[in-house]
Amino acid sequence: MLSLTICHIISIWLLLTNLSFAKSIVSEQNSSILENLEDINDIHNLWADCYRYYIFQNIKGYEDCDTIDCSLLEYKQDQDLCRKVQSKEANIDNETDDISEVQKDDPLEPQVVLYDPNVSRFSRSSRIIDNSMMNYVMDDSGNMKRDLLDMNYKDDINLIDVHQMSSSDNIGEWTPIKSSIGSNSVENYAFPVNYSSIGLSQSFEIMIFISANICIQPAANNTGEIRIFHTFDHDQLANQNYSGMSEFDFENGYAQDIAKINLDDTGQKLYVSVVTVCDNCTDSSSSSADWSYTLGISQNNLVFQYDNVQQIYLLDTDHQSALLQVDSLDLESDSHYQLYIGSGDVIDTSLKHSWCSTQSLPEGSRYTINKNSTIRATSHDLYVINDLHPNTTYTGVLVENFAYGGGVIYEPFSFQTMTNEGCKLIYDLEFCGDVAYSVPISESLYNGDETLVDFKVKYDTYAKNAYQNFTYALQQVACDTELDARYSPIKTCADCASSYKYWLCAVTIPRCSSRNLTGYKSWDKDDGRTDLIKEEIKPPLAYFEILPCLNVCEAIVRDCPSDFGFTCPQNNITLRESYYWEAFGEYTSCNFVGDSSLSNSASLIHAAAFLAWTSFTIVTFSFL
């Protein structure tokens, strides 16, 4: 029995050794490509990227393609094409972006369906697939480089006027067109299906992504509508049998759909009809009665996209400026993001999901979002929009422009400037670096006898000096002793210092508003919470203070030693004199120093009070 057990152990050891040896051989042979791959799906993604670069950029022998082990691809069609690309036998027709020499020698025989996108993912309320593959080009030396986009976009940038096309009934892969159509009219297009490049489809069907924007709506009336139909049946198109065709409609200026066709149905075209219907249209002979639209078709992705995620948030305003926070965008030095700010009807909110509608906005409302003008690089970027008008509501829209035409429009946001000059935006303080909101303006700054820099230093220095005594007290605490001898097994002296600093900045640098809303505390001119405001700032105008959030106080009680005796108000009468809380409303009800956007987010009412930025990046723009 013992000998049998030893034999089993030896056999298992030999098996594991052989597997490890085989794995090391594969790793050495494919180290440049397979080093960070965890499954076969990643291999297919690498091949897809290589192939798309090859197609779109006319790249013959893109260097990383040579390192792919074609035999690891699941589909025989991909394996054959991979080898042709590596051997540089595949030729590109520059006009059609199609590989002409690749033929389907054998029927597609997938062993496993690795990627079959669920159509439900392609809703009109979210982006579909990352388009980073579309943002790279080759330089003259054949090396990859980031596409340096021209930021001086015109209203027809990267869009082909359909009336100037040599064959106006055809539309190519990722070749967005722009057209105008009158009332009760029809415009038809044909998209040849590319069976050599099935794009994102990894099954028995080819998916074709259709997307469209309304650029301008008729000015004469709002009773008409524009619709899009598609079919692979030419007879349905010729007979205008729209009831038998697939239809999708516009919502807030944006429309998208997916057409599918079997791989066996070779030689097909996708026919698309743009139809306008209006029973009570007036002045139909005028160009103002036309619809202006864009249309893009691709087997790789949506040419035009709408993302319901808001990537820019308002932090605060004063009477002429707005401070905005950019969320998790990958901002390069030469950014392809643009921000549009407009008041009144400058931005048509009925087309708020239309990328195309922003391309004709006035130059003065357009800002390029990048890091060229930043003070320092951080994970969170702040942008300042200046020269706004008092007591005015503005709408902001962020768009991303693709290098090959089309783009993404993100969920718009709105904000209102303050009514008077009683409050002033400050940010980028040396000590209270998390302060980024409006504060009571000083009499000296209001009269032009003080610079903005000196004004900010007054607030910052006052808080810094008040913090010094706390540091002396904290030094008396045994912070670095054994764990069971510390004041808390969970919290540290660093937690206490951080929470106390946030609390101190919130109470010594009050947040200011010109509006009287529930929870705000009213102050007359020359008056305020601290001696600094009464004796040095001396506000020349009455204002309302947005009191600190209660959880800023609760954080220091939680994080600091009980010997310090920190307590927070326990009843509503005393509480409302010093603090407020999240009111689940549409306005900022309390001041949360750190990430100020948390203070008006009901879902984050209980967010930790120590969450805050460590630094800011500031970019200044002017509004014309």
C-alpha distances out from residue 55 to 82, 203, 358, 449, 497, Å: 13, 21, 30, 63, 57
* Exposed / middle / buried, residue 587 (Cβ in 10 Å: 0-12, 13-18, 19+): middle
Residue 77 pLDDT greater than 90, yes or no: no
pLDDT (tens digit, 9 = 90+) per residue, 540-556? Answer: 999 999 999 988 999 99
Contact 378, 613 (CB under 8 A): yes
Residue 475 pLDDT greater than 70, yes or no: yes
Task: State the average pLDDT over residues 597-617.
Answer: 31
The three-class DSSP label of residue 138 is: strand
The one-letter code for the residue type at 378 is: T
- Of the candidates 466, 416, 425, 464, the one whose C-alpha atom is nearest the C-alpha of residue 445 is 425
Give the distance, in angstroms, between the CA of residue 433 and the centroid of all CA atoms in the same chain. Answer: 25
pLDDT (tens digit, 9 = 90+) per residue, 231-260? Answer: 999 988 888 888 889 999 899 999 999 999
Tokens standing for residue 245: 């065709």
Contact 469, 504 (CB under 8 A): no
The Cα–Cα gap between 361 and 340 comes to: 8
pLDDT at 81: 72
**Same CATH topology for 149-306 and 310-416?**
no
pLDDT at 184: 83
pLDDT at 220: 56
* CA angle 30–300–244, rounded 5-degree value: 145
The Cα–Cα gap between 579 and 553 comes to: 8
Residue bearing the bigger pLDDT, 268 or 148: 268
Q: 145 pLDDT band (50/70/90 cuts)?
A: very low
pLDDT at 14: 46
**Largest Cα–Cα distance in the chain?**
99
CATH of 149-306, one of 2.60.120.380, 3.40.718.10, 3.30.70.360, 3.40.50.80: 2.60.120.380
Q: What phi and psi, each to the nearest 5 degrees, are found at residue 59? A: -90, 120
C-alpha distances out from residue 25 to 20, 31, 40, Å: 9, 10, 17
Residue bearing the bigger pLDDT, 76 or 339: 339
pLDDT (tens digit, 9 = 90+) per residue, 357-375? Answer: 988 787 667 776 765 544 3
Average pLDDT of the residues of the chain? 72
Least confident range from 146-160, 365-379, 434-448, 597-611: namely 597-611
Contact 149, 137 (CB under 8 A): no
Task: State the average pLDDT over residues 591-611.
Answer: 42
Domain 310-416 CATH assignment equals 2.60.40.10: yes
Residue 282 pLDDT greater than 80, yes or no: no
The Cα–Cα gap between 504 and 471 comes to: 13
pLDDT at 542: 96
Residue 120 pLDDT greater than 50, yes or no: no
pLDDT at 311: 84
pLDDT at 543: 96
Contact 370, 332 (CB under 8 A): yes
The Cα–Cα gap between 89 and 102 comes to: 9
Task: State the average pLDDT over residues 459-477.
Answer: 93
Task: State the average pLDDT over residues 32-53.
Answer: 50
Tokens standing for residue 57: 């950029």
Residue 177 pLDDT greater than 50, yes or no: yes
pLDDT (tens digit, 9 = 90+) per residue, 518-542? Answer: 889 999 999 998 999 999 999 999 9
**Structural domain spans, the chain:** 30-115, 149-306, 310-416, 427-593
Task: State the average pLDDT over residues 261-277.
Answer: 87
pLDDT at 456: 95
Task: State the average pLDDT over residues 471-481.
Answer: 86
pLDDT at 386: 87
Residue bearing the bigger pLDDT, 103 or 584: 584
Residue 613 pLDDT greater than 70, yes or no: no
Task: State the average pLDDT over residues 381-385.
Answer: 81
The 10 Å Cβ neighbour count of residue 284 is: 17
The three-class DSSP label of residue 398 is: strand
